[in-house]
Structure 1
């Protein structure tokens, strides 16, 4: 029998769609134990606004979350100001970060097997005077790791990034042998640990058009990417490339690949989101915990309308549960 998995689910920006996406989960079968880490008062108010008859049960570490239809387990995080759906309030920024800290610390101490995050609003957190560049960097600092990797995935495609939220003019300088090596090793290691892929086959995109055209369209491939990949292959990594990004995302290459490693944000993610927006999941690799997230933002215009689509959240929960179970199996070993 499969070991039970308990996932923490943070509700994200209080004025956005995150709270109601969490509430929608109560009416669907759940393949993992879920604990919503949020203000119980906020969830009750949003349920009343939407007319959702959801029973919210207080949860404490060591308890089994409820699987009952129409009910959710909640780890109450106080301090959320009065909230109007669709309206941002910088006064809630510290509360939002407390939900992330609570969930992550619960993963680190074993209360949770992983965490799933609904969207936050970076701008309003910064307006509150709190430096915040996103979930990924926040969890990297909290967990004390040097490098993490952003990977988005659908059922058919995984795309990881060497660089993430950088202006395009800064990307080339950021692609160093050290960074590329760290990212490739993390991707290879975590595909094995969390997705049970024994020998991941990773396609690596070049930076320039036509992967540099032998140096005529840029030398990053010749000077940095190719030598680094060659060295990593001596460590046993199965890396194919650098390949021209305009032809890499075709069945000829993708049919036999486990993941794509893109050099920058808008090189790989537009393809993935075209292929599966609303059904994709954002995975943070390189952490000592499981973390998945939705592939969309706070959607303030939809908050409180009841029209928000929980498809990406369901995917994030499913993938998070699979990753947590896979890690338990790997850590336990085949003969345990």
Structure 2
């Protein structure tokens, strides 16, 4: 049965071909529920997807198409735009500059399709940063790469699970550098991006909790050197004065406990591990990474290339299914 032409077209990038990306894509695109909410077109390698299908013990029809307009959406069929960048004998679970370059090209092509309006969203399988860098593409990750490709000056990473959503003020930099980079303007802009994203998902007035930097959010100067008062409080007070339902700075452990029981729609984390740790405990199997602030919609699985299990048929497609679902929902909410 054909998928409705009213569902969003989504470019699905294959990520690093040596990782679990091909497997989770095959698993997600063959899941019956996926066809109900989107029309996915893979930007990747057709032969690699067939090999992934083999390790999963399934036999989809993997069809190479020249463009999105030529894709046909039927049960059991996977449409692929294949630039022909991977060797057939690429080993599973090994860092490869060839695979790193291919992962970059998949994202670049998907970005072009999204910017031109040929697809309504991008959904990315994981790339490997070491392989990406070995290929000469020195970006910390998808978030920064897509910002560069779309000419966007500043974006934020949001992690989304059924229990909690977290947006990060800083992401792929060292902790000392993160503390130095945090300042009221960046905190304010991050909260605004997060609030707009949550409103875009259907929450009329999001409740937002903002984490501190130090243990116990500094506990009135007991820990740290006044970072909360200097770097966070001015942003929170400014947004509160505008009527935004924002609270903080809060001790991070308290903030995530409150969010887990439903008190907040969004938590603002100051640095990478402050946000990622709780999210991966609360919902890794269905976690989704959303890049907020881009001119296009981009979601991703919330896991890495998992080289240790790649090619073994063990990867769980749940996060990819959820990433596709949220990409489709964001597309519909935005009206693209």
Q: Same fold (TM over 0.5)?
A: yes
Q: Tell me, what secondary structure is at the counterpart of 1:278?
A: helix
Determine the structure 2 residue equivalent to 1:296: 303
Identify which range, 143-152 or 53-62, moves more after superposition. 53-62
Q: Which one of the candidate residues 2, 11, 16 is aligned to 1:13? A: 16
Aligned pairs, number: 327
Which runs of 5 or more residues in structure 1 are unaligned? 332-336
Q: Which one of the candidate residues 299, 317, 320 is aligned to 1:310? A: 317
- Report the Cα offset of residue 252 of structure 1: 7.7
Distance verdict in 2 for CA 1:243–1:251, change over 3 Å:
closer
Determine the structure 2 residue equivalent to 1:113: 120
1:268 maps to 2:278? no
Which runs of 5 or more residues in structure 2 are unaligned? none
Distance verdict in 2 for CA 1:129–1:251, change over 3 Å:
closer
Determine the structure 1 residue equivalent to 2:205: 199
1:32 maps to 2:38? yes
Residues 26 and 54 of structure 1 are in contact (CA less than 8 Å); yes or no, is this contact kept in structure 2?
no
- Report the Cα offset of residue 50 of structure 1: 4.8
Residues 86 and 99 of structure 2 are in contact (CA less than 8 Å); yes or no, is this contact kept in structure 1?
yes
For residues 54-133 of structure 1, the aligned pairs below 5 Å read 54-59=60-65, 60-63=67-70, 65-68=72-75, 70-82=76-88, 83-133=90-140
Q: Tell me, what secondary structure is at the counterpart of 2:69?
A: coil
- Report the Cα offset of residue 205 of structure 1: 0.8
Q: Tell me, what secondary structure is at the counterpart of 2:87?
A: coil
For residues 274-293 of structure 1, the aligned pairs below 5 Å read 274-293=281-300
Distance verdict in 2 for CA 1:252–1:45, change over 3 Å:
closer
Kindly provide the CA deviation profile for residues 195-234 of structure 1, in whole angstroms up to 9, marking residues without a partner as x. Answer: 1222211100111122111223230112221112111223
Determine the structure 2 residue equivalent to 1:334: none
Determine the structure 2 residue equivalent to 1:155: 162
